[in-house]
Chains A and B, each alone.
Chain A
Amino acid sequence: MIQLQWEQFVALFGLILVTQFSRQLPVWIPFPDSLLQFLEKSKRPIGAGIMVLLVLYCWKGAGSLISISTLPRVFGSAITAGVYLRKRNFYLAIIAGTISYAVAISI
């Protein structure tokens, strides 16, 4: 039987707050133009930067980033990216990458 932990409740509640905050804030509190311009300019570099961080974080797992255990994940990501760039199909890329990863870890 899985136990509910208070840390998970705190994380859940906080996550609801920050997600809805990011969606609702501009509707209820109008942003000044300067802030909007800053957000518009920064969204692409910060977005790309955060995504790269998340991919690297997933590759790292519980161990070190530069180790043999990250190789199947890097291989899976390469297949995912390759399929996505070629076919432009989000779901196909994820399925192909996951199957490649499963094959790589079995080897």
Chain B
Amino acid sequence: MSKKLRKPLKMQVEKSFKKKTISLNLSNAVFKKALVVAIGYFIAATAFGIYATQLNVHWAIVISLSIFVFAGASQFLAVKLMASAVDPVSIILSGLFLNLRHLIYSTLFLKDIKSSDGKVGVKAALLTDEVFGLFQTETDRSQLQEVEVFVYLGWIGGTLVGVLFGSFLPKIESLDFVLTALFTVLAVDAIEELRKVENQYFPALLSAGIFIVVSSIVLENALLYSMFLVILCLPLLQRIKVK
């Protein structure tokens, strides 16, 4: 390994925040991992910006989603539902159900979020699936905030590029499928984890059954009703099964 690589790589990206500064000071190993996540975020956010712009969602909404929500899957879903003129309550509830897993992430990282390194509010606000995954196996999580801010900048940058180019590019019909592909990968992951830990496919099959029945009965808000039923039925059935 060269001397250059052994030296801790210092990045100073200073951002004003309540008259104090947040500085990025990442060690080499963490920086390498964070860079992969940031590049991935940049590409995904560019696709999000193009997708949202081509769905005719206002650029201010698209950029605000990336700045304040910073949750890829719910952002993709939100712009799709907004473009389909779905009522705001359904969009908000879909986002809530989709992001409930963050409760677990924040809870599991509670000690690190509350530690003296960095700002508690910022560390909790920017905790995403990938950052959680990156630090889950790390024992030293003192650089949590630096990594979060770094990948967050990648996401914002990607969104800006996407919004800028989305209006110039001709409409790409197949780009609509990116959301389906994203959910397919997340579903495969979730089902695999369920099979490994609990050795069952039942919740996935039950959800599919619920959606098929609900969508054939009600034409509007089938997703919302199905989500309610899944959230109600699954823990109940799990409890019955355990007993």
Interface residues of A (CB under 8 A from B): 2-4, 7-12, 14-27, 31, 36, 38-60, 62, 64-66, 73, 76-77, 80-81, 84-85, 90-91, 93-94, 97-99, 101-102, 105
- Most B C-beta atoms less than 10 A away, residue of A50, A56, A66, A73: A50
Within 8 A of A (CB), among B95-125: 95-107, 110, 113-114, 120-121, 124-125
Q: Determine the distance from Cα of A20 to Cα of B186 in the docked complex, in whole angstroms.
A: 21
B222: A residues at CB distance < 8 A? 57, 60
The answer on a CB contact under 8 Å between B58 and A4 is yes
A42 with B238, Cβ < 8 A, contacts A14-B92, A27-B120, A57-B223 known: yes
Q: Residue on B with the closest CB to A76?
A: B177
Q: Determine the distance from Cα of A21 to Cα of B69 in the docked complex, in whole angstroms.
A: 11
The answer on a CB contact under 8 Å between B68 and A16 is yes
A-contacting 9-mer, from B1-9, B138-146, B150-158, B229-237: B229-237
A80: B residues at CB distance < 8 A? 180-181, 184-185
A81: B residues at CB distance < 8 A? 184-185, 188
Q: Determine the distance from Cα of A6 to Cα of B213 in the docked complex, in whole angstroms.
A: 33
Q: Determine the distance from Cα of A49 to Cα of B209 in the docked complex, in whole angstroms.
A: 10
A49: B residues at CB distance < 8 A? 203-204, 206-207, 230, 234
Q: Determine the distance from Cα of A39 to Cα of B68 in the docked complex, in whole angstroms.
A: 25
Q: Give the residue of B71, B106, B190 whose beta carbon is less than 8 angstroms from that of A25.
A: B106
Q: Determine the distance from Cα of A16 to Cα of B70 in the docked complex, in whole angstroms.
A: 9
A54 with B181, Cβ < 8 A, contacts A2-B58, A42-B238, A47-B101 known: no
A14 with B91, Cβ < 8 A, contacts A23-B125, A44-B197, A48-B190 known: yes
| B215 interfacial contact with A, CB 8 Å | yes
The answer on a CB contact under 8 Å between B203 and A45 is yes
The answer on a CB contact under 8 Å between B110 and A27 is yes
CB-defined A-B contacts under 8 Å, sample of 5: A20-B125, A27-B124, A48-B187, A53-B226, A80-B181
Q: Determine the distance from Cα of A100 to Cα of B234 in the docked complex, in whole angstroms.
A: 34
The answer on a CB contact under 8 Å between A94 and B182 is yes
- Most A C-beta atoms less than 10 A away, residue of B184, B206, B235: B184
Q: Determine the distance from Cα of A36 to Cα of B230 in the docked complex, in whole angstroms.
A: 19
A42: B residues at CB distance < 8 A? 234-235, 238
Q: Determine the distance from Cα of A53 to Cα of B191 in the docked complex, in whole angstroms.
A: 12
| B227 interfacial contact with A, CB 8 Å | yes
The answer on a CB contact under 8 Å between A23 and B106 is yes
Within 8 A of A (CB), among B45-66: 56-61, 64-65
Q: Determine the distance from Cα of A56 to Cα of B196 in the docked complex, in whole angstroms.
A: 23
Q: Residue on B with the closest CB to A58?
A: B180
The answer on a CB contact under 8 Å between B69 and A39 is no
The answer on a CB contact under 8 Å between A46 and B203 is yes
The answer on a CB contact under 8 Å between A16 and B69 is yes
